[in-house]
Amino acid sequence: MPDMLPLCKWLEQSWVGGGVRESLWLFPAIETVHLLGMAAMVGTATVFDLRLLGWVQRRERVSELAGRLLPWAWAGFVVQVLTGAILFSSEAVKVYGNPAFRVKMLLILLAGVHAAVFHWIVERDVARWDASAILPMKAKVAGGVSILLWIGIVAAGRFIGFV
């Protein structure tokens, strides 16, 4: 794995990293936006995952629900990546070595792989089960795995300051 420490040092010394670190209110303000992004992302993604599990919105077509909810999930995720990068830049060297941060990044990567697999494999024959209340096992597994991944990411994010 390439050594990222020089990049972390450079980030910390940049005007963004330094500005956030030296301000009393910038870090908590940006973290607030980070958490609003999380609410939009995890909230909407979870409703969709629960639909895949067949626990909520059973009368709604999966494709319609996806069309209404997933743009919010993506928008929330973009907000999180942008605000997360700014928070990171202010404490990059310390956070880079933090085990909870590493677990969080790994789980985000897995969530990305999971979303891609869902899109290409599970969703491929969505036309057949779109309107069913009870979905095939692979859709349920996709929903369950997604919920577990997002719980892990939220928990790892919370642990960063404590380990």
User: Which residues in this chain contact ligand HEM in the complex, by CB under 6 A?
Assistant: 31, 34-35, 38, 41-42, 80-81, 84-85, 87-88, 91, 95, 108, 150, 153-154, 157-158, 160-161
Q: Between residues 35 and 145, which has the closer beta carbon with respect to ligand HEM?
A: 35
Query: Residue-wise over 33-70: b if at least 16 C-beta within 10 A, else e?
Result: ebeebbebbbebbbbbbbbbbeeebeeeebeebbeebe
Q: How far is the CB of 129 from ligand HEM (least distance, A)?
A: 28
- Tokens found for residue 60: 């709604």
Q: How far is the CB of 53 from ligand HEM (least distance, A)?
A: 19
Closest alpha carbon to 37 in 71, 96, 4, 80: 80
Inter-CA distances, 87 with 91, 99, 145, 146, 149, Å: 7, 17, 28, 25, 22
Q: Between residues 31 and 130, which has the closer beta carbon with respect to ligand HEM?
A: 31
Q: Between residues 52 and 80, which has the closer beta carbon with respect to ligand HEM?
A: 80
Q: Between residues 143 and 157, which has the closer beta carbon with respect to ligand HEM?
A: 157
For residues 143 and 50, is the Cβ–Cβ distance under 8 A?
yes
- Tokens found for residue 123: 């969703």
Q: Between residues 12 and 122, which has the closer beta carbon with respect to ligand HEM?
A: 12
Q: How far is the CB of 104 from ligand HEM (least distance, A)?
A: 6
Dist CA 16 CA 12 (whole Å): 8
Q: How far is the CB of 13 from ligand HEM (least distance, A)?
A: 17
Q: How far is the CB of 24 from ligand HEM (least distance, A)?
A: 15
